[in-house]
Structure 1
Amino acid sequence: MKRKELEDLGLEKEAIDKIMDWNGQDIETEKKRADKAEGERDNYKEQLDTATGELEKFKDVKPDELQATIEQLKNDLKDKDDEYAAKEADRIFLDGIKDSIRRAGARNEKAVMALLDIDSLKQSKNQTEDIKKALETVKESDAYLFGSEEPINNPVGPIGGAGGGDTALAAMRAAAGLPPAEK
């Protein structure tokens, strides 16, 4: 629509301006829709080109070979999962043994571990009880590997003699407000 055509119809200038504004808005709306449609078209064309290029890569692939490869990869993944589960079970088992050894009062964890039959304990149905029994057996046969529960064999401080008994006595007397001991 052209301004000249509207003027020829004898319309007033204000009416022509209003009609031209409406027409311009309609044209802009249609241009936006056309641009959007062209953008979508270009996007779909690009996707088609990409998909066609990817399909070309698979032109020489044989489905049976691909299926065999997939099955092999699944089996490898399952084997790795089984291997990881076995390692995790071993770690949990060894941590349990080490904890039991510490609770039994062992002085050297590695030395006690060397005396235990780890494989038979691992195969045991009642591991907790069998570990306790094995530790008791080692404690009886090699008691020097474990701390003693008797206070005399497990001292916690100086027990007299040249170990500074005089200075300890002097410190106690001074703390109590007593004069130094006479010799």
Structure 2
Amino acid sequence: MKTEFLKALGLEQETINKIMEENGKDVNAEKEKTRKAEGERDNYKTQLDTVNTKLEEFEGVDVKDLQGQITKLQGDLKAKEDECAAKEAERVFTDSVKTAIKAAGGRNEKAVIAMLDMESLKGSKNQSEDIKKALEDVKKSDGYLFGADEPINNQVGSLGGGSGTDADSMVSLRAAMGLPEKN
């Protein structure tokens, strides 16, 4: 709206100034809305350019090939996990057999293990009982692989009651070690 238009209508200058002031407020408010909308537009344009640039990086990438590679890698990972679990189960089984052999008094673990049917023991539902039973069977058939249950009859020290007193034996013992007779 122009001042000349309002003068042509026969309005006084003071009225025209008030109308122009009010019109200026409306115009400024609309200019602010326009500036804000242009700022948002520029922001969206920048974002669009960024996204387009990133999309160009993926140009020529075969998605099906990537999915195939992911599936293959997941399969490889599962196979490795299964392999590790099998090795751990084998280690636990072997350790339990070795522990049982020691508890049974086995002299040579390798020799005793060679006498056992390890595959059937692995597949057993109650491994600890079956291992004990198999060790008892080996002990019956090949007892030389196990230590004797009876106490050792070869005494190494003095039984007492020999000639001389305890004090004399201590003095001679200290002298043999090169120590003085008394503490």
Taking structure 1 as the reference length, the TM-score comes to: 0.57
Amino acid aligned to 1:175: D
Q: Sort the Cα spacing of 1:112 and 1:62 in 2 relative to 1 into closer, same or farther, 3 A.
A: same
Task: Say which of 155, 160, 164 aligns to 1:173.
Answer: 164
1:120 Cα deviation (Å)?
A: 0.5
Shift of 1:171: 8.9
The letter for the 1-side match of 2:99 is D
Q: Secondary structure at the match of 1:144?
A: helix
Which ranges of structure 1 fall in alignment gaps of 5 or more residues? Answer: 1-43, 160-164
Q: Distance in 2 between matches of 1:97 and 1:56?
A: 62
Distance 1:156 1:92 in 2: 38
Residues 172 and 150 (structure 1), Cα distance of their counterparts in 2 relative to 1, 3 Å cut: farther
State the AA in 1 paired with 2:146.
F
Aligned to 1:144: 144
Q: Point out where structure 2 has 5 or more consecutive residues left out of the alignment.
A: 1-45, 173-183
Q: CA deviation at 1:173?
A: 3.2
- Name the structure 2 match of 1:100: 100
Cα deviation, 1:89-123, whole Å, max 9, x if unaligned, reads: 01001100000000001111111011011001001
Judged with a 3 Å threshold, the aligned counterparts in structure 2 of structure 1 residues 122 and 170 are, in CA distance, closer, same or farther, namely same
The RMSD of aligned alpha carbons is 3.4
Among the aligned pairs, what percent are the same residue? Answer: 50
* Distance of 1:57 and 1:156 partners within structure 2: 86
Residue number in structure 2 paired with 1:73: 73
CA distance in 2, matches of 1:172, 1:119: 61
SS at match of 2:164: helix
Alpha-carbon spacing, 1:172–1:86, altered in 2? closer, same or farther (3 Å): farther
Q: CA deviation at 1:176?
A: 4.2
Cα distance per residue 1:13-52 (max 9 Å; x no partner): xxxxxxxxxxxxxxxxxxxxxxxxxxxxxxx99xx59x94
CA distance in 2, matches of 1:112, 1:78: 35
Q: What does residue 158 of structure 1 align with?
A: 156
Q: Give the distance between the partners of 2:109 and 2:163, measured in 1 at CA.
A: 39
- The alpha carbon displacement at 1:156 in A equals 6.0
Q: How does 1:1-183 map to 2 (within 5 A)?
A: 52=53, 57-151=57-151, 154-155=152-153, 157-158=155-156, 173-177=164-168
SS at match of 1:64: helix
> What residue number does 2:8 align with?
none
Give the TM-score normalised by the residue count of structure 2: 0.57
> CA offset at residue 175 of structure 1?
2.5
Give per-residue Cα distances to partners, 1:137-172, cap 9 Å, x unaligned: 000111111111112xx346438xxxxx7xx97998
TM-aligned CA deviation for residue 55 of structure 1: 5.5
